[in-house]
Amino acid sequence: MDFSQFNGAEQAQMTRLIEKKQMQDFMKLYSGMVERCFNACAQDFTSKALSTNEKTCVQNCTDKFLKHSERVGARFAEHNAGMSTLAREQTGC
Nearest to 65 by CA among 48, 49, 41: 41
34: amino acid identity, one letter: V
Binding residues for another protein, rule CB under 8 A, total: 76
Residue 33 CB, shortest distance to another protein, in Å, is: 5
Q: Of 58-77, which residues contact another protein (CB under 8 A)?
A: 58-69, 71-77
Q: Using the rule CB under 8 A, is 41 a contact of another protein?
A: yes
Residue 36 CB, shortest distance to another protein, in Å, is: 8
Residue 90 CB, shortest distance to another protein, in Å, is: 10
What does the alpha-carbon distance between residue 11 and residue 30 come to, in Å, rounded to a whole number?
28
Q: Using the rule CB under 8 A, is 52 a contact of another protein?
A: no
> Radius of gyration of the chain from Cα atoms?
20
Q: Using the rule CB under 8 A, is 89 a contact of another protein?
A: no
The residues, any chain, with a CB within 8 Å of residue 2's CB and separated by 6 or more, are: 84
